[in-house]
Structures are given as structure tokens and as C-alpha cells.
Amino acid sequence: MRLWVRTLIRNSFFQVGAGIILTMVLGGFLLQWFEPGEISKGDNPYWWAIVTMTTVGYGDFSPDTAAGRVFAVLIMFIGISLVSLLTASISSIFVAQKIREGKGLEKLNLNDHLILCGWNPNGERMLNAMQFLNRGKRENLVLINELNEEEVTQLKNRYGRLKIDFVSGDFTQEEILERASVRTANTVVVIPNTTGSEVATYDEKTIFATLTIKSIDPTIRVVAYLLDRENLTHIKRADADEVVIGDDFSAHILTSHVLDPGLPQIARQLIYSRSNSRIKRIDIPSEFVGKTYDDLFDHFRNKDGSVLIGVFSEDANLGIGAILSSDASALDSFIERKLKEGGISLQEESKINVVVNPQDGYIISEEERAIVIP
């Protein structure tokens, strides 16, 4: 209690506010000694004091005696000083908040936003793709990394179509994640962080961040980017919703340039964010639920010339990785080895179930969405 009172007394905003109230009360009380007229009746002196202090000057009351006028001048100077200090205190609060926001030290209050944890050259490529794909919609994006204020300002200016906020710190710490309103985020993307000075490897930090986020709220959607496929088992045990591995496509594309010329160029057109032939996902009209894939194919083809290449849905089933414990015990290793020997891959589980070019007679279900090429 004493500490709270002591902190309140030391607060400059409280001091100025108390000074204004004290001057108003004391000024109104003393005015009654100098002015015997209408101005001294009831609460008139206190009203006159506050009006005079704030330099509003309604003119409904004014002192008549010489002593009263001298006293009024004193009240004016005290009031001007205190009101100026009050304005300065309020301004300093907002300025300090803006400075803290610029440095990434302020708590954010956001909903349904995207959080990008970590930073490397791929981070800027993601921002560039997001800005292009948003098509006018201003996406709320929070960056959590250790970039300096100048670099973050440059990113905000460069990607003006994104509403970028910044939180500075280690994204594996719960306090930092809470500052970014992680509980109300739509999706959290964790990429290898090359801006910090941590000793742990990049993938270890990605795994640790995923564990921390899921411990805060298991329903938060996490998309993790790994550099080494050997760590895929660990990130799945951390319950990442989706995992992207750095070498999954690059090695295949590199080989295709030699063995299958033309395929890499087609793949680029299909996935490049600025391509007119980029693969898109589209909601399936309700009237096609229960109908065949061929009917839906004809619908999109006749509507705008789009080509339906598949459908996808979310899979809420429990993955094998979630059954195994979080530590790499001998029993877990034995189970994983036996699953591999039986042709069951622990590493390839996904919560998104994709069906590409299904067999004849495939029936569209209610929870599915379409994947098309415009």
C-alpha cells in the first residue's frame, strides 16, 4: 500500500493534476477575502478560479477591488504554468508510447492478425508476396525479431499496404509472444532467425518457439520453416500445424532443370505470387456438395476458364507424432523405426488433406475447398 501511494505521488501527471485542484480550491477560498460581491457567493469563486486558470475567461464574474485583481493575476500565472505542465505531461505519455512502439517494447492489442517470428532473407520475400496477394486488403502483421528500429521503419515504408507492427525480443519467450497478442492471432509463422546472437541452431530455436506457442494455447495455428529434414520429427512432436522444409523443392527443381527441362518453368508459373497462372484456392459452391468432381471441373471451366486440379480439407485426426512423447527416448526411436519398416512415415503427416486429380466418381464433401489454375 505504501509503495503504491509513493509511486502515485512521484507521478508527474498526478502532481500537476493535484496542483491544479489545489490552486482552484485555495484560489476560490482566498478570493472570498478580497471580493465581497456576487463573485464570492456559493461556488462562484471556485468556478471563477478554474475559468481563470485555464484562460477561458467567460467574463460572467470578475474582481472589482485592486487586491482582487492583483490576486487574479497571480492565479492566471499559476494556472498557465500548471495547464502547460499538464499538456506537456499528456504529450510526453503519447510520445513515450510511440517511441516504445517504434522500439518494439509496447504491448499490442490486435485480433485475427499474422505473426512472423524470426528474420532472414526469406522474411522480406514473404512480405513482398503478402503485399501483392492481399489485393487491397490491409493485413495486420506483427514481426517478432531483433532488427533495429531503422530497419523496421524501412520495412514499414517499403510495404505500405501491410499494417506492420513490431515486437523486439526473443520469440521463444512467452512474455515476448504475449506482447504480440499471440492468443488472438490467426496464424504464427516461425522461420529461421539469423538476426540474433543465440548459440542454438536455427532449427532448435524454431522447435522451441513452436513448443512455447503451443503451451500458451494449443489451438494457435503454427506454420514452421525448417532448414534440416532431420528435425522434422521434433517439430511434429512440438505439434506444428504445417511444416515447410527448405530443401524440399529446391533440390527437385535443380534436378528438373537437367532431367526434365520445362517443368521448373511451369512450377514457377504455378507458385510465383505475381504470376497470372498462380494456383488459387476457391470456395466450392454449396450446390456442388454431394456431386462428382467432374461436375465441379466443368463448372469452373465454363465459368471463367479455370482448371480444377484438386480439392483439400482440414484433417482434425490425431497424428502419430502426437502420440509419441516429447523426448527422443529409446522406445520412441524403436516405434519410429518399426513404422518406417512397415511403410508408415511419421514425418509426412499433415493436418491439410489434399486430393489432386481424383479418380472418376469422386464425390465432393461439405468441408472441402477447390484448388484451381486461373
Cα 240 from Cα 315, distance rounded (Å): 14
pLDDT of residue 32: 86
The SS3 call for residue 114 is strand
| Segment 26-33 long-range contacts (CB within 8 Å, at least 24 positions apart) | 27/52, 27/53, 27/71, 27/75, 27/78, 30/71, 31/63, 31/68, 31/71
Q: Does the pLDDT at position 10 exceed 70?
A: yes
Q: What is the mean pLDDT of residues 256-283?
A: 78
Residue closest to 365 by CA, chosen among 355, 351, 350: 355
Mean pLDDT is lowest, of 139-148, 204-213, 341-350, for 341-350
User: What is the reported pLDDT for 52?
Assistant: 86
- Average pLDDT over every residue of 68-72: 88
Q: Any idea which of 47-51, 259-263, 335-339 has the lowest mean pLDDT?
A: 335-339
Is the pLDDT at 27 greater than 70? The verdict is yes
Q: How does the average pLDDT of the chain come out, rounded? A: 81
Look at residue 177 and tell me whether its pLDDT is greater than 70. Answer: yes
Mean pLDDT (whole number) for 227-241 = 86
Q: Is 66 exposed, middle or buried (0-12, 13-18, 19+ CB in 10 A)?
A: exposed
Q: Mean per-residue pLDDT for 264-288? A: 82
Is residue 345 over pLDDT 70?
no
pLDDT of residue 199: 42
The pLDDT of residue 342: 54
CA distance 248 to 123: 18
Hey, what amino acid is at 135?
A: R
**What domains, with CATH codes, occur in the chain?**
2-103 (1.10.287.70), 114-245 (3.40.50.720), 279-373 (no CATH)
Model confidence at 349, in pLDDT bands (50, 70, 90)? very low
pLDDT band at 251 (very low <50, low <70, confident <90, very high): low
Does residue 57 carry a pLDDT above 80? no
- Residue 212 has a pLDDT of 93
Per-residue pLDDT, 136: 61
Counting residues of the chain whose pLDDT is more than 90, the rounded percentage is 21
d(CA 220, CA 97): 28
Q: What is the pLDDT of residue 316?
A: 54
Q: 3-class SS at 115?
A: strand
pLDDT category of residue 48 using cuts at 50, 70 and 90: confident
Q: What secondary structure does DSSP assign to 242-255, as a single string? A: EEEETHHHHHHHHH
What whole-number percentage of the chain has pLDDT above 70?
82
Q: 184-204, pLDDT tens digit by residue?
A: 999 999 998 876 555 457 888
Q: What is the pLDDT of residue 242?
A: 84
pLDDT score of 184: 93
pLDDT tens profile 290-310: 999 999 999 999 988 899 999
What local confidence, expressed as pLDDT, does residue 142 receive?
Answer: 93
Judge whether residue 329 has pLDDT over 60. Answer: no
Q: Reply yes or no on whether the pLDDT at 318 is more than 60.
A: no
pLDDT, one tens digit per residue, over 85-137 is: 888 878 877 777 777 776 777 888 889 899 999 998 888 888 888 887 766 66
State the average pLDDT over residues 126-154. 83
- How confident is the model over 204-223, as pLDDT tens digits? 899 999 999 999 999 999 98
